[in-house]
Chains A and B, each alone.
Chain A
Amino acid sequence: MIKLENVGYVYPGGVKALRGVSLTIGEKGSLAIMGRSGAGKTTLIKHLNGLLKPTSGKVTVDGVDTRKATVAQLSRKVGIVFQNPDHQLFAETVEEEIAFPLKNFGFPQDEIKTRTEWVLELFNLTRYRHHSPLSLSGGEKKRVAMASVVSWKPKYLVLDEPTLGQDRENKLRLRELFEEFMGEGRTIIMVTHDVEFTAECGFNVALLVDGKVSALGSAQEILSNVELLKEASLAAPQMAELFLELEGMGAQPVFTVEEAERLILSWLMAGAEKP
Chain B
Amino acid sequence: MDSVKKKAKELLENQSVNLIIGYGEGSDKSVRTIFISTADEVDQLIYDERCVQNLAFYLMKHEVKHMGKLGIIAPLPVMRTILQIASECQIKEENVVVLGVNPKGELVECNGFKDIESYVAACDLDLPAKEKEIIAKLDAMTVQERWTFWTNELSRCIKCYACRAACPMCYCTRCQVECNNPQWITVEATPMGNLEWHFMRAMHLTGRCVNCGECGRACPLNIPVNLLTYKTVMTVKEQFDVVSGTLANMDSVLSSYKIDDKENFIR
Q: Do A and B come from one complex?
A: no
B: residues with CB less than 8 A from A are: none
